[in-house]
Structures are given as structure tokens and as C-alpha cells.
């Protein structure tokens, strides 16, 4: 059975002005997400600025998220690393904290071979019992996990069950769907490709957009899976200009700006990420107003 079906939010980690994690605001944002239809919380991923959290902070944010969510929706913890040893450590600790599943990004910077990727993911997944979703985002990691490798991992490692596909290449994702023949849970990793990936047999999205539009993102998936493809497509296209604005600078710079504009208290970014440039920020605000968020 899939860890979740629908729209999971790749949740932002809110910070105080001094850079410390703002747990009070984090709790409010989790509640707001669940109240507005998010089907899962994905914590400590790219959008959660996990790469700038210390290991202690990383695990505390996961523990807090699990405790506060309290079983209302699944919590999937980002525990990937470019070091297999570190990925194993974070994954084991996240399992102890009560995470329902793990999201493992392809190792960044190392640029592993497909054999290396297989060994990395297999070793990490075998260190835990909870289900694992692979995360393929070559634009950020410099490493692309091929469809054949994904299918091999899902078939040979019991608790690897799916993939968040953010390669952006619909042909590659179509090949994955063909080779998998239903054995891989495919989630869109790009908010502008939700319906195309659902059309290829995907079961949901792990979304940045959900941070500011949880109900709308949930509805894109729900209407498609309930058979109303035309309405799902309309909702997808209606969100297109806003999604483009949300990625006009590197994620999560724009979405944190958007959340702050909405009073959702995302707070500042941690270096090396910096505040959004004014022209892009102005365009983002315009698209948020057009979409009905402001």
C-alpha cells in the first residue's frame, strides 16, 4: 500500500529572525496544512532547508513534526545525504522518531554511477523497516537516477516503494511508468507537471505550491483520481503562472516570501540563500493576487 495518495506538502521550516527554528509557527503551519486538505507532510526536504540544518536540528524538526501531527496524516522525513553513512544515521533516527516513511534524495555533488546509486539507496533502506520514497532531482544534485535503476530497487528492496520525480523529463517518467508496470508509486516533484504525471499512472505530488495553496493542490490530484480529468487539467493550468513565479528564483526563496506575504510566518532564509530580488518578488505578489491568495 502507498504511504499516501494525493498532495503532500514539502513543508517549509520557519525560522525566527535570529535564524533559530520557530517551532510555534511550525505547529500552526502544520495544523493549517491538515485543515486545508494536505494528504501528507514531507519534512526536512529541499523546501525545508534541510541542507542548512545541523544533524541535531534536522532530527529535532522531524521529531517535532511527528509529535505535533500526531497521526492525522503521514509524516515523511527527508533523510537523504551525499554520504551513505549519514543517510543511514538520519534514516534510523527518523524511524525511531516515528516517521511513517522516508524521502531519500539522490546523492549530490558525488555524481555516483547507477551502480553507486543502487548500493546507496539499498543500504540506506535496508537499515530501516519503514517505507522509502526515492527523490530524483538532477537539476539540484547533478545526478539522475535512471528508470531501470528505480525499478530494480523497488523490486529488490522490500521497503523502497516509490519515487518523487522532479527530473522534468516527461519522456523519462513515461519510460519509468512503462518499465514499472504499476510496481512503483510515482509522485510528481514539479508543481507544473501534476496532471501529466497522474496521466502516466502517478498517484500524487510532493508539492511546494501546497505551502500556500494546500486545498487547491489537493483538489488538482483529487479531481483527477476521481475521474474528472478535465477539471483537474483546468485547475493545473490555473495554477501555472503562480507556479512559475514560485520557481523564478531557487526554491524555497519565493515560497518563503509568499508565505510571509500571507502571514504564515516562514521567517528568513539561511545563507547561502538570500531574500528574493524585488522584480521577481513583485511578480510573485501579482500572481498570488491573481490566484486569490492575497
Instruction: Label the pairing between strands 40-43 and 75-78.
Output: parallel
Question: Phi, psi at residue 225, to the nearest 5°?
Answer: -70, -20
* Cell reading at 85: 553513512
244 is catalytic: no
Angle at 105 between CA 157 and CA 3, to 5 degrees: 55
- Residues 209, 245 contacting (CB under 8 angstroms): no
- Angstrom CA distances, 216 to 27, 286, 293, stand at 21, 18, 11
Burial of 190 (0-12, 13-18, 19+ CB in 10 A): buried
Give the span between the Cα atoms of 261 and 255, in whole angstroms.
10
Among residues 23, 28, 129, 135, the one annotated as catalytic is 135
135 is catalytic: yes
Q: Which of 247, 225, 249, 245 has its CA nearest to residue 235?
A: 225
Strands (E), 125-255: 132-136, 160-165, 185-188, 204-207
Among residues 118, 152, 164, 289, the one annotated as catalytic is 164
In angstroms and rounded to an integer, the radius of gyration of the C-alpha atoms of the chain is 18
Catalytic residue set: 135, 164
Amino acid at each position: 500500500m502507498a504511504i499516501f495518495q494525493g498532495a503532500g506538502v514539502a513543508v517549509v521550516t520557519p525560522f525566527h529572525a535570529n535564524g533559530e527554528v520557530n517551532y510555534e509557527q511550525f505547529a500552526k503551519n502544520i495544523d493549517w496544512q491538515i485543515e486545508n486538505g494536505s494528504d501528507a507532510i514531507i519534512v526536512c526536504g529541499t523546501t525545508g532547508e534541510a541542507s542548512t540544518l545541523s544533524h541535531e536540528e534536522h532530527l529535532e524538526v522531524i521529531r517535532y513534526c511527528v509529535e505535533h501531527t500526531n497521526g492525522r496524516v503521514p509524516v515523511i522525513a527527508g533523510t537523504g545525504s551525499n554520504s551513505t553513512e549519514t543517510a543511514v544515521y538520519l534514516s534510523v533516527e527518523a524511524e525511531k522518531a516515528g516517521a511513517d516513511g522516508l524521502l531519500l534524495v539522490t546523492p549530490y555533488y558525488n555524481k555516483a554511477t547507477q551502480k553507486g546509486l543502487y548500493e546507496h539507496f539499498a543500504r540506506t533502506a535496508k537499515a530501516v523497516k519503514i517505507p522509502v520514497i526515492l527523490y530524483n532531482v538532477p537539476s539540484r544534485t547533478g545526478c539522475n537516477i535512471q528508470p531501470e535503476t528505480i525499478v530494480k530497487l523497488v523490486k529488490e528492496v522490500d521497503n523502497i516503494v516509490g519515487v518523487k520525480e522532479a527530473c522534468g523529463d516527461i519522456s523519462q517518467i513515461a519510460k519509468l511508468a512503462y518499465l514499472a508496470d504499476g510496481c512503483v508509486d510515482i509522485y510528481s516533484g514539479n508543481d507544473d507537471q501534476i496532471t501529466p504525471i497522474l496521466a502516466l499512472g502517478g498517484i500524487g505530488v510532493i508539492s511546494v505550491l501546497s505551502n500556500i495553496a494546500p486545498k487547491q493542490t489537493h483538489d488538482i490530484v483529487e479531481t483527477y483520481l476521481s475521474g474528472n480529468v478535465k477539471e483537474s487539467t483546468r485547475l493545473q493550468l490555473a495554477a501555472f503562472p503562480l507556479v512559475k513565479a514560485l520557481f523564478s528564483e531557487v526554491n524555497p526563496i519565493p515560497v518563503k516570501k509568499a508565505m510571509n506575504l500571507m502571514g504564515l510566518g516562514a521567517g528568513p532564509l539561511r545563507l547561502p540563500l538570500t531574500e528574493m530580488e524585488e522584480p521577481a518578488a513583485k511578480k510573485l505578489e501579482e500572481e498570488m493576487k491573481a490566484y486569490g491568495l492575497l
